[in-house]
Structure 1
Amino acid sequence: MLPPAVRMRSSADFAQTIRRGARAGRTTLVVHGRVSERPGVRVGFVVSKAVGGAVVRNVVRRRLRGLVMEQLDTVPSGTDVVVRALPAAATADYATLGADLRSALSQSLRRAGAS
């Protein structure tokens, strides 16, 4: 579970990160990263019905949360990140999701200038 201080909850924050952030896509997910003026790191997840039913979406969301927890140390403070799962995430294994997340996260943060 992500600590409350790390969770992105406001739909306005999601929209701003997706619209103004740097995007990096992979076969299973898309990562949007944006440098914000707030201290700390905030992370949000978007797992739509296109991914699957409620059970599948929750499994994908839990896997992504765990993977993001492993990567939090690599994300610089003052960064907002939105991870959007694609339908291929439903059938991907944990290792594939992890590789895609690490790759897309580093590329997104590099493009956003959050080094």
Structure 2
Amino acid sequence: MLPPAARLTRSQDFGLVVRRGRRAGRPRLVVHALTPDVPTLDPSKVGFVVSKAVGNSVVRHRVYRRLRHVVRDHLAGMPAGTLVVVRALPSAAEASSADLAADFSSALRKVLR
């Protein structure tokens, strides 16, 4: 579970990250990240988008839980104040946690360069 301070919850924040942030696509997910222009002490925040295209509610929730677990391990390594949106693609439904972790790590490295 992500701590409440690390959750991206407002719709406006999701839109801001998707519109103004950098994007990296992988076979199972797309990662959008927006880093602050000035140094800050705010915690990094992460939000997830798992649409109905991924599957029914059981499948979507399973993908969400797996992604949440993967992101939790990377949260401490992100620069302070970074906002991240992880969008699952339909192929994430059949992916293992290791596949999702590899895709997320690769995409995160690219957007934070």
Range class of TM-score, shorter chain:
over 0.9
1:95 aligned residue: 98
Residues 43-86 of structure 1 deviation map (CA, whole Å, 9 limit, x = unaligned): 00000000000000000000000000011121110100000000
Q: Structure 2: which 5+ runs fail to align?
A: none
Ranges of 4+ aligned residues in structure 1 off by more than 4 Å: none
Aligned-residue offset at 1:109: 1.4
State the percentage of identical aligned residues: 56
Number of residue pairs aligned between Structure 1 and Structure 2? 110
Q: TM-score, normalised by structure 1?
A: 0.92
Pick from 54, 57, 62 the counterpart of residue 60 of structure 2: 57
Matched, 1:43 2:46: yes
Match of 2:112, SS state, is helix
1:4 aligned residue: 4
> Aligned partners of 1:81 and 1:61: how far apart in 2?
15
2:29 aligned residue: 29
Aligned-residue offset at 1:106: 1.1
Q: Structure 1: which 5+ runs fail to align?
A: 111-115
Match of 1:15, SS state, is helix
Residues 4-34 of structure 1 deviation map (CA, whole Å, 9 limit, x = unaligned): 0000000000000000000000000000000
Q: TM-score, normalised by structure 2?
A: 0.94
> Aligned partners of 1:109 and 1:48: how far apart in 2?
25
